[in-house]
Amino acid sequence: MSRKATPDIMGNLMGETINPESNKTIKQVNNPAGLLENHNAVKTVVREKATFSLPRSTLTDLEDMWIEIRRLRGDKRISKTDIVEQAIDAALKEFRLKKSLSPFCGKLENNKAGKQ
């Protein structure tokens, strides 16, 4: 006799589904910027969990930023994941444009040199 699957109550409430085989979260999001031709279209975003080790000071700064943004915007729905995602997107765009001349690459080189 096999065990029944546990219902994903929070995922259902938030419009997300989790594929148990891959541990990926699939979220249906509205298209507020009208990026698709049909303004009522829904875009599917597949998310995967990842874990990174960060310095305690970076985590403290992230926490402080998260609290300040929530206070300034009055938006209680913003998450630290949203902040990190935007920061990574900005770094990736800058890197794609400037490659090794980007400040992002320069900071990586400085960090590498400092650790030797």
What is the number of domains present in the chain? 2
> Which residues make beta-bridge pairs with 42?
30
79 domain-assigned: yes
**Are residues 62 and 111 located together in one domain of the fold?**
yes
**Are residues 74 and 109 located together in one domain of the fold?**
yes
**Are residues 62 and 108 located together in one domain of the fold?**
yes
Nearest alpha carbon to residue 47 among 32, 67, 65, 26: 26
**Are residues 80 and 44 located together in one domain of the fold?**
no
* Model pTM score: 0.56
Q: Which two tokens stand for residue 113?
A: 């040199």
2 domain-assigned: no
**Are residues 13 and 34 located together in one domain of the fold?**
yes
Collect all residues with Cβ–Cβ distance below 8 Å to 99 and sequence separation of at least 6: 105
Kindly state the DSSP code that residue 37 receives in the 8-state scheme: S
Question: Which residues of the chain, if any, have pLDDT below 70?
Answer: 1-2, 8, 10-42, 112-116
Instruction: Specify whether the CB–CB gap between 73 and 65 falls below 8 A.
Output: no
**Are residues 71 and 105 located together in one domain of the fold?**
yes
99 domain-assigned: yes
15 domain-assigned: yes
> CA 81, CA 10: separation in Å to the nearest integer?
17
State which residues form the domain around 39: 9-48
**Mind listing the pLDDT tens digit for each residue in 59-87?**
999 999 999 999 998 877 889 999 999 99
